[in-house]
Structures are given as structure tokens and as C-alpha cells.
Amino acid sequence: MAWFRKEQSASSGYDDDEGSRFAQPGFIASALVILFVILSAVYLAVAGNDGKPRATASRPPAAPGVAPVTLGPVREGGAPAPKGCPFIPAAEISRPVQAPANITWQPFRTVSVPASSIAGPMITQGDVAHCYAQTPTGALVAIAQITTRYALAENWLTVVSQQVLPGPGADAYSLPRIEKELTYGSARMPEPGSMSQFAGFKFVNYSSLSAAVEIARRRPDGSLQAFVHTVVWKDGDWKLELQPDGGDSPTGRDLISLEGFVPWGGS
């Protein structure tokens, strides 16, 4: 994943002090109830409204030492996208060669994320920020918002079900994380200054139906790393495409400087 704390990845902020919590009376019964509720929610998020079986999506084998979880059949097309996006005129169609104007930066769980009255997101509902312009800047802002929210949101599963393309990648990311949270609890709020921040971008390719952008992020120690993220236009909005292994980028690379990138960040 593209997010790093000072000494660990963004998905590893779990409470590892298991002993006292798991030894408490009633824990097993409570865990079973939680398991039922969470797996039911996952099923409803990925299954059809009628609950009838659909073709089951394949997914990579579980990582060693992680017990597999069997979910209900996946509905073709995934969970419905949020409704009510306003019409957003395509104000520009060229790739930005400098930092886009009309961008404000707002904190989301200690990470500064961009927002624009022109490019989106036009609607924010809880942890989901959606309705982006079908433009290069709209795709850029969507990548910044979605890669942050699906990794760090308290209600991350809703972000995944609504803003990540369904398929093996979404399964490979979600299933191990559900199992980990059942064991250790939800990830803690990141400490201020512990997360990487946006530092720049470079478009790899763009069309009205897909965009790939290399995003540079500055780690807490000041070093730079870049990842290529892809979004696809589907159901009237940009959706993040995950890799078959659940990662949000096929490769990452360390940078010496931002040469070749457009500087872009809120901190």
C-alpha cells in the first residue's frame, strides 16, 4: 500500500495486546456476534439486493497463516454507486502541467486531501467522498481521495464497496483486513505527523474512461516515494482499480527529488 507510518504500514495500526481482552468472560460469544454482523454486512455489500447467488469471483489464495473467510456470491457489477451526483461540466480536458487551481486541502485522519468545487468531490457522505468530474483533474483528485479513504477510513468497507472496482483485487484487500480486525480490532487513528503526505503528481496516461497517475508522497522522515494508481470511469464516477494481490499500485519507487513531477500537496 502507498501509505506509511514512521515505522509501519498504514494497515498495521492494530492493538496487539491480545491477552487481557481475549480472556474476558463472554468474549467468544461476543466475537461470534461480531463475526456474524460483519460478514452479513460484507455479503450485503457485494451480493445482489435479492440475496440470490450470482457468479462467484475468483481471488488469490489467502496469505500463509491467515484462515480463509467464505463470503456469499459476488453480485455482477458490485455494490451500487452512491446516487445523486450532480451534472459536472468538463471544464478542462488537458492534463494539468502545474498544480490545479481551486484546490483546497482538508485533513482526513491526519492526511491532507484535496477538494475542488470544479473537479470534486461534490458530495461527501460519512467516509465516502464521491462525484468527481470526468476530467484529468477530477481523476487526480479522485485518486488522492480514494487511496486515502479506503486505507484509513473507519468505515473503510463502505469506501471499498462503493469506490473500488469489484473483483479479485477488492477481495484480496478486504478479506484479510476483515479477518485481522476480527482478531485485533479496528486500526487506531494515526498519530499526527505519522503518515505520508501528498507531494506531487505525474500523469502516465489519461482518457475519458481511465487514468493512471504516478503520485509522489513524502514520508514522515522527509524521504519521497512514488506509486502509480489507476482509476476507471464506471457508473458515473471514478473508481479505484486494485491489483490482483489487493495492492493499489503495481510498483513503488523511491525518489531523490520531485524532478519530473508537478509539486502538489497540502502540507
What mean pLDDT comes out for the span 80-88? Answer: 69
Whole-number Å distance between alpha carbons of 123 and 82: 9
CATH number of 196's domain: 3.10.450
Share of the chain above pLDDT 70, in %: 67
Q: Are 126 and 134 in contact (CB under 8 A)?
A: no
Residue 1 forms part of a structural domain? no
Q: Are 127 and 149 in contact (CB under 8 A)?
A: yes
The one-character DSSP state at 11 is G
User: 14 versus 237: which is more confidently predicted?
Assistant: 237
Residue 170 forms part of a structural domain? yes
Q: How many Cβ atoms are within 10 Å of 112's Cβ, its own excluded?
A: 17
Q: Is the peptide bond before 25 cis (omega within 30 degrees of 0)?
A: no
The answer for residues whose C-beta is within 8 angstroms of residue 82's C-beta and 6 or more apart is: 123, 125, 128, 130, 131, 162, 237
pLDDT the model gives residue 187: 83
Q: Is the pLDDT of residue 44 over 60?
A: no
Nearest CA to 240 among 215, 267, 266, 265?
Answer: 215
Residue 207 forms part of a structural domain? yes
Residue 38 forms part of a structural domain? no
Residue 202 forms part of a structural domain? yes
Q: Which DSSP helix (H) or strand (E) runs through 168? A: helix 168-184
Residue 55 forms part of a structural domain? no
Q: Is the pLDDT of residue 264 over 50?
A: yes
Angle, in degrees to the nearest 10, between helices 136-152 and 156-163: 150
- 131-187: pLDDT as tens digits: 999 999 999 999 999 999 999 999 999 999 999 999 999 999 999 999 999 999 888
The CA angle 198-203-208, to the nearest 5 degrees, is: 115
Q: For cell 439486493, what's the residue?
A: 49
Residue 83 forms part of a structural domain? no
- 179-217: pLDDT as tens digits: 999 999 888 888 889 999 999 999 999 999 999 999 999
SS (H, E, C) 35-61: HHHHHHHHHHHHCCCCCCCCCCCCCCC
Residue 58 forms part of a structural domain? no
pLDDT the model gives residue 41: 57
Query: How many distinct structural domains can be found in the chain?
Result: 1
Mean pLDDT, the chain, as a whole number? 78
State which residues form the domain around 134: 102-263
